[in-house]
Amino acid sequence: MKLNPLFESTILDAFFSAAFSLIIPLLLSARGVDISVIGIIFAITPIVFQTMRLGLSIFADSKGAGKLFLLNAILFPINGLVFLFSYSVPFFLLGKFIEGLRSASLVAVGRSIAFNAIRRDSSVTTALYALSSVSTAMGMLAVGVALAFLSLSDGLLLFSILSLAMFHSALRMKGVPAREVRKLEKPSAFLDWRFKPPVFRKVMLAMTLLAVNDALIFAYVLPLFLNFKGLDFRGVGLHLGAFALVSGVVSLFLVANRKHTDMRKLLSCQLVVGTLGFAVLPFAGLSLLLPAIILLAVGDGITRVLFEGIVLKAVAGSKLLSIDIGILHMPFHFVRAAALLAAGFLVNWFGFQPVFLLAAAFFAAYSLSIRRFYY
């Protein structure tokens, strides 16, 4: 039985994105790039991602989404090779620019296709996220094993070549139809968030809190922190693989049992477990890093489920789903860019522990801010 091409694209994208996301910050550090400069380099990705995503969403809704899956497949090996041969900041910035475009080409259409296919039931998009987390775990574990035998450069070359597998699913998505946007009487009403319903704007605001939390830890700080704590590259890969695997399993379990799950209690669990995870991890010794990572992963798995729930509430009744989802995430990614920029400087000035505690505070604020959507 053939795998659904959307699921196949999501799984492969997650696998290779995970491999790149683990290798690249370690590669930058190994090539002598200061963590504050790493923050500047990483900050370009969400800006490119969001800017391109909206345009690509409009393209997908008017011309069809299949070409964007092919673009994603083409850019994967190019992205890896650019980083492989980069030894200066301008070329690293080029690599992150390509990464932003590559990510936007898939994300711009993936969630909306899933929502349409299952009549706007968030369980399928959450399932995509959960499968993505499991695939992310496999990617990081694969990197961990590969780096036991290969250098960072050789590992990046290997996964760049393997990413050519993306073409298999991309070519199967070429028949995805377009959605008509040219007949809209007032297209500006669909592109301006001020014309959106109140719940849309409230979700948009809540998401910015999660953006800060995510940027402070997950983009590049966490792998560098684990390496700083004494783990070798293989150990970093195995720990982050365990994180992604636990997060994905938790999400899948909650999706499978969502009819029997009290969302209010689940939100309370998210608040407590997630906040504790961010607060405990920076103080854990080497032997306790894995339990602390697992605690953080449980909170992350819960967060994914509830996050997709509020996105669904925000775009309920949308006539142009790809575009509305793109607009919804616009502040998220611009705030995330600012936080990515700040994270490296904060680590340089204050160390890792205050940054994790700040992330815990933003996570708690986000969890409290979405209570209105479940109570």
What tens digit of pLDDT does each residue of 282-340 get?
Answer: 999 888 999 999 999 999 989 988 887 888 777 777 666 667 777 888 889 899 999 99
Average pLDDT over residues 137-144: 88
Report the distance separating Cα 13 and Cα 163, nearest Å: 8
Identify the band that residue 256 occupies on the pLDDT scale cut at 50, 70 and 90.
confident
Average pLDDT over residues 261-267: 85
Q: What is the pLDDT of residue 34?
A: 93
Identify the band that residue 168 occupies on the pLDDT scale cut at 50, 70 and 90.
confident
- Biggest CA-to-CA distance, the chain: 62
Q: Which residue has the higher pLDDT, 199 or 155?
A: 155
Number of C-beta neighbours around residue 83 at 10 A: 23
Residue 121 has pLDDT above 90, yes or no: no
- Average model confidence (pLDDT) for the chain? 83
CATH assignment of 5-172+198-373? 1.20.1250.20
Q: What is the pLDDT of residue 37?
A: 94
Structure confidence by residue, pLDDT tens digits, 196-239: 778 888 888 999 999 999 998 888 999 999 999 999 988 998 89
Number of C-beta neighbours around residue 371 at 10 A: 13
Q: Which residue has the higher pLDDT, 110 or 96?
A: 96
Mapped onto helix, strand or coil, the DSSP state of residue 49 is: helix
Q: Which residue has the higher pLDDT, 45 or 111?
A: 45
Which structure tokens are listed for 117?
């296919």
Q: What is the pLDDT of residue 14?
A: 87
Residue 119 has pLDDT above 50, yes or no: no
Residue 267 has pLDDT above 80, yes or no: yes
CA distances from 34 to 38, 137, 165, 268, 347 (A): 6, 27, 34, 38, 11
Residue 352 has pLDDT above 70, yes or no: yes
